Chain A
Amino acid sequence: MTAAVLWRHAGGRAGMLLLGALILLVLLAPPFLPAPYLQPDPEHGRLLPPGAGHLLGTDDLSRDVLARVVAGGRVSLAVAAGAVLLSVTLGTLVGLAAGYLGGWVDQLLMRLVDAALAVPRLFLLLIIVGIMERIPLGVLIVAIGATGWFGTSRLVRAEVLRLRTLDFVRGAQALGAGPRRVVFRHLLPNVLGPLAAATTLAVGDVILLEAGLSFLGLGVQPPTPSWGGMILAARSDLVNAPWVSLAPGVAIVLTVLAVNLVGEALQDPAGEAAT
């Protein structure tokens, strides 16, 4: 599955454009935004509606909402990328080990995964972040990543079990390929297709999860802005200043929409047949 094929897919193209625009905005916009976004800024008014000076208005501490949405986007996207990278790596390694080694290794790993999947992920996260006194970003990324690999490991294991029966894997063994070569050169590359689709969809999940945690006050801690945290802080002004919570809300929706469009396109059998 190449980027070109994804580009020919209508949904995939829309998702890539939207996601690209969001990432560019979040990466490049900060120098052009009215500073400061962390500290209260009494020079501006509180809860100003969107207008010329502040495109998306100001919040209850007189901070520019657009600046905070962009800054929060950096944090939210960084957490999502880090957590997904971690969970996909863990899930892939566990899935490869279970599928390739089989036997009691497989049994042990998959029963652990079963047990972990039986508990809702949010509860697992609440337990982990609940026992921490402070929640630095690194801990948040590890916590979300460490609770997200169970499904991935099942997916990879299932693919490996299917691939293992194919002649080219047996053939590689028959021609003297060692276990490492079989796993990383013959099995892993053939798992990447379904893995890419699942990974993209997982990004959307993680953004929502981080927003939810931050909304509960257990995610990204103020004054560091994050989309979920902004919605939490703005909830008392929901009626008289809806733009303060709507802006990060729309940002979440657009981001999740974009990654899901890409993920759906990656899963589309028509797209896969074209490769």
Chain B
Amino acid sequence: MTPLLEVRDLRVSFPGRHGRVQPVDGVSFTVGHGETVALVGESGSGKSLTSLALLQLIPPPGRIEQGSVVCLGGTDLLPLTGEALRRVRGRRIGMVFQDPMTSLNPVLTIGDQVAETIRAHLPGSARQAADRAVALLGEVGLAEPALRARQYPHQLSGGMRQRALIAIALAAEPELLVADEPTSALDVTVQAQILELLDRLRASRRLSVLLITHDLGVVAGRADRTLVMYAGRLVETGPTAAVFGAPAHPYTRGLLASLPSLRGPRRPLVAIPGNVPDPSQWPDGCRFRPRCPLAEARCGTQPPELPVGEARRAACWLAGTAGVAAP
């Protein structure tokens, strides 16, 4: 079965002081029908730009490089412009942004904002759209949806606003929901509820979800597959359980080792030394090399994404060897 979304060799570039830099540098992945895929990485890894590029929302002067392909259900999205592009945004791909405090228009009611997206894409009267908006607000778990529809964003809590944003993203019944850090601005208890909701919606609507996050705790148990991004490239991809159970790339291992765990023996948390390098100063070869405890001479050449076991790949020369696979 062909995947719903296919991204091939995606490159996003910005003008820098010494020529263009590429914060997203050759990213390829797929999202299947009804699948949840998590894209994980630190700040500056390029994960948000990757999600924005799907809908050509890269802020100028950035641009998507020639040769990149974003294909949704057989449609190549990157050549689209104007009205054709507008009909994909929201209609086929819905987006949920990170900050529920700033993602809603403060002067429009919640119901109006849901109805606006419905009317932008689907036929029907204003009355029908308003009714549909109330139904959607109920579906995303807001109590008293008719009342909420008449309220303004400042009258809702953070968790309620995030639910409203999800309702807006789903208003035109998209096939793919892209959620960029949907829980980062929320309390921990509310985070779990929102993730629960996304899971439920995916099942009931046969939705595909691309979940962008820096929080591995969010990913564990929610996503079918996990993509780990570092310095503009995917370093490891595979089924979530396998990636978490036996990380094949030293960077993934570092990420997992820096997470506190409630289970297992007590151990000191390990921080990965250093920071994600600036896109203008990416090292040659493997970009994790300067921070990697296992770096050796051949790491000066960029490793390809090598297969490691069932449906897994890792961009590391040492991938699959015993020294790395053991956690």
Interfacial residues, chain A to chain B (CB-CB below 8 A):
166-168, 170-178, 181, 185-186, 189-190, 192
Contacts of A189 in B (CB 8 A): 105, 107-108
Partner of A171, one of B91, B97, B172: B97
Contacts of B87 in A (CB 8 A): 176
Q: Nearest Cβ distance between residue B169 and chain A, in whole angstroms?
A: 7
Spot the interface stretch: B11-19, B113-121, B206-214, B288-296: B113-121
Known A175-B117, A175-B172, A181-B120; further 7 A-B contacts with Cβ < 8 A = A166-B102, A167-B99, A171-B95, A171-B168, A174-B95, A175-B168, A192-B107
**Contact: B108 with A174, CB < 8 Å?**
no
Whether A170 touches B57, Cβ cut-off 8 Å, given contacts A176-B117, A185-B108, A190-B107, is yes
Q: Nearest Cβ distance between residue B60 and chain A, in whole angstroms?
A: 8
Q: How far is the CA of A167 from the CA of B105 in the complex (A)?
A: 9
**Contact: B105 with A190, CB < 8 Å?**
yes
Q: Chain A contact residues: over half helix, strand or loop, or mixed?
A: helix
Contacts of B88 in A (CB 8 A): 176
Partner of B106, one of A173, A174, A177, A190: A190
Contacts of B117 in A (CB 8 A): 175-177
Contacts of A190 in B (CB 8 A): 105-107
Closest residue of chain A to B94, judged by CB? A175
Contacts of A185 in B (CB 8 A): 105, 108, 116
**Contact: A186 with B105, CB < 8 Å?**
yes
Q: How far is the CA of A190 from the CA of B105 in the complex (A)?
A: 8
Q: Is B103 in contact with chain A by the CB < 8 A criterion?
A: yes
Q: Nearest Cβ distance between residue B82 and chain A, in whole angstroms?
A: 9
Contacts of A181 in B (CB 8 A): 116, 120
Contacts of B171 in A (CB 8 A): 175
Partner of A168, one of B89, B104, B121: B104
Interface size class of B (residues with CB under 8 A): 20 to 34
Q: Nearest Cβ distance between residue B327 and chain A, in whole angstroms?
A: 38
Closest residue of chain A to B93, judged by CB? A174
Closest residue of chain A to B55, judged by CB? A174
Partner of B120, one of A168, A176, A192: A176
Q: How far is the CA of A167 from the CA of B153 in the complex (A)?
A: 13
A-B contact pairs, 17 of them (CB 8 A): A168-B102, A170-B57, A174-B55, A174-B90, A174-B97, A175-B90, A175-B95, A175-B168, A175-B171, A175-B172, A176-B89, A176-B91, A176-B172, A177-B86, A177-B90, A178-B86, A189-B105
Q: How far is the CA of A177 from the CA of B57 in the complex (A)?
A: 13
Q: How far is the CA of A250 from the CA of B215 in the complex (A)?
A: 67
Partner of B86, one of A171, A176, A186: A176
Q: Is B237 in contact with chain A by the CB < 8 A criterion?
A: no
Q: Is B98 in contact with chain A by the CB < 8 A criterion?
A: yes
CB under 8 Å from chain A, chain B span 190-222: none
Q: Nearest Cβ distance between residue B110 and chain A, in whole angstroms?
A: 12
Contacts of A172 in B (CB 8 A): 105, 116
Contacts of B89 in A (CB 8 A): 173-176
CB under 8 Å from chain A, chain B span 163-197: 165, 168-169, 171-172
Q: How far is the CA of A181 from the CA of B105 in the complex (A)?
A: 13
**Contact: B102 with A167, CB < 8 Å?**
yes
Q: How far is the CA of A192 from the CA of B90 in the complex (A)?
A: 27
**Contact: B57 with A174, CB < 8 Å?**
yes
Q: How far is the CA of A181 from the CA of B113 in the complex (A)?
A: 12
